[in-house]
Chain A
Amino acid sequence: MTSSGSTASRRDLSMLMPAEPDVTIVWASPPVLQLPPNLGFEAMRSLLRTRLAPQKEEMKGVAMRVDIAASALQLFDLRRLGLFLKDEFAIDVIGLTCPPEALQRHAERELKLKIHLQMPEPPPPRVEIVRVEVPVPVVVVEPAPKVEVEPPPPTPVEVVVVEELPPQGDRVLIVDYTLRSGTLVSFAGDVHVYGDVNPGAQVVAGGNVVVFGSLKGQAHAGNRQDGSFVMAFDMRPTLLRIGRLQLAGTRDPNQTGRFAPEIGYVSQGSIVIEPYRGRLPVKEVS
């Protein structure tokens, strides 16, 4: 393994070089994999593949922490990242450093990862300092409490629950695949599904639910917010809930779709579904 000295020099280098997206490994204990900012999952994966390939042997079986501080990874990418590292490099991801609170909650609850709010400082580089009376302040790193952490489970994350909105950034959770039976997506903001919601799947949103496909499962909009709506290109839910109201399925979810956008919203104390004509209903103040 690389000694801490070379880590320091690599760090210095990175300060001099123009900021190019790169992966850094800090050989702390446990080692930390720092991911570059502003990369999506696909780009990140190919970068990791090329970067880690030369060190594949020495990284085998190493338990690592991942710092995704400023990268553009989404909620759903975390698990894929963990599996990717495990499969290709046999790296166990045991911890995570990331800013938005939502991600942390997700990681802690669903992926059983230990969350670190701060990066541990690497040991200070040994530099000869002349005529310094005050010693260089040494950042005392408290050893991370030993927690028995399992690697991310091989079973899929079928349930995504985010109860609080991230303080900044996306208020819309985008689900870019079809939700199959048995999956639950719950988000404090709006949820957009670019696919179908199949029978047996459930979408819960604090705000609106928009399905750019067939809504055949359950949808619950506005459990936080009045005046929310559910919109779908093909509206055949088994159960539609808006706020505290509910409407049991009146259409057969097993029939083939017709694809005519419809909107469900609350009007005079009950849920109405009508064709969507390109205009949102006027919000009723309750």
Chain B
Amino acid sequence: MSECIVITSGKGGVGKTTSTANLGVALALMGKKVVVVDADIGLRNLDLILGLENRIVYDLVNVIEGECRMKQALIKDKRCDNLFLLPAAQTRDKNAVSPEGMKKLVSQLKEEFDYVLLDCPAGIEQGFKNSIAGADRALIVTTPEVSAIRDADRIIGLVEAAELPEPKLIINRFRPKLVARGDMMNKEDILEILAIPLIGLVPDHEDIIVTSNRGAPAAFDEKSTVGEAYRRIARRINGEADVPFVALEEPDSVWSVLKRWMGLTPTREVA
């Protein structure tokens, strides 16, 4: 059974595109046939993160307007046979597509793929409405910041009002050290405000910047902790129950063990 999942956040810059790319890679590595769709028309990025920029010939708007066939616009990933990208048009804007057009496109894609991941643009305007029109469910990305959480709250309301099932939450750029110091909102605070189930907790790591710039998502990297976090989210998306969350802390140093033993730091933050 195929499924269309929209990845959205409301606020910009919290990691929607990075999450979409990594989840696409992780699901494809699990053997699923995946297409990632860039719905951010006019501000396309997903192709850069996946390193497929120089292979774009046709785009999503061309397909919807019937200027090319779906097969011509889909770009196959060079590292993974199951992963495809449908890029956004860069020379158009969000009004080039209607929710109906998007719905049709998604149902067409769903015939061929196990998962259709939609990278939603920031904001709550036309682009957002287009993106959620064809989706079966939504993942909300937020960072542990008040502004991102406020926007996520609004988006959750809109998603629920569009009668999609209860969305799931990805907390991105989580920094256990800051949380332990009390300088960052912890997981429980965020979940209390947003009141939706958590599906992933992604640590803040320089890996993401490096891999994004190189066009090779972290999920390809066996050793990356961020990649591991996304791989686990992918398993949860795929319906695997009881996937444990990654323990978010550096390996114990003598000093930290001693401090914990003396009761100077709180117990380990395991996310």
Contacts and interface: CB of A to CB of B under 8 A. Distances in A.
B153 A198 contact: yes
B154 A181 contact: yes
B153 A199 contact: yes
A157 B150 CA distance: 19
Nearest to A216: B193
Interface centre among A180, A198, A254 (most CB of B within 10 A): A180
A178 B146 contact: no
B162 interface: yes
A199 B150 CA distance: 7
A200 B150 contact: yes
Nearest to A183: B157
B150 A196 contact: no
Given A154-B99, A155-B129, A156-B158, A198 B163 contact: no
B242 interface: no
B184 to A, nearest CB: 12
A256 interface: yes
A156 B162 CA distance: 6
Q: Determine the main DSSP class of A at the interface with B.
A: loop
A158 B157 contact: yes
Contacts of A156: 157-158, 161-162
A154 B163 CA distance: 10
A163 B153 CA distance: 27
A99 interface: no
Interface string B124-140: 00000100010000000
B195 interface: yes
19 contacts: A83-B163, A154-B129, A154-B133, A154-B162, A157-B161, A158-B161, A179-B157, A180-B153, A180-B156, A180-B157, A181-B150, A182-B157, A199-B150, A200-B150, A254-B146, A254-B189, A256-B188, A256-B189, A256-B192
A199 B193 CA distance: 9
A167 to B, nearest CB: 29
Contacts of B150: 181, 199-200
Contacts of B192: 256-257
Contacts of B156: 180
Interface residues of B, number: 21
Contact of B153 (A83, A154, A157, A181): A181
Nearest to A87: B163
A83 B163 CA distance: 9
Interface of A: 80, 83, 154-158, 177-183, 196, 198-200, 254, 256-257
Contacts of A257: 192
B129 A198 contact: no
A200 B153 contact: yes
Interface in B188-204: 188-189, 192-193, 195
Contacts of A200: 150, 153-154
Interface in B151-194: 151, 153-154, 156-158, 160-163, 185, 188-189, 192-193
A256 B154 CA distance: 19
Given A180-B154, A180-B160, 16 more contacts: A80-B163, A154-B129, A154-B133, A156-B158, A156-B162, A181-B151, A181-B157, A198-B153, A199-B150, A199-B153, A200-B150, A200-B154, A254-B193, A256-B188, A256-B189, A257-B192
Contacts of B133: 154
Nearest to B186: A256
Contacts of A182: 154, 157-158
Contacts of A155: 129, 161
A154 B195 CA distance: 24
A214 to B, nearest CB: 9
Contacts of B157: 156, 158, 179-183
A80 B154 CA distance: 20
Closest 4 CB pairs of A and B: A156-B161, A180-B157, A181-B154, A181-B153
A179 B151 CA distance: 14
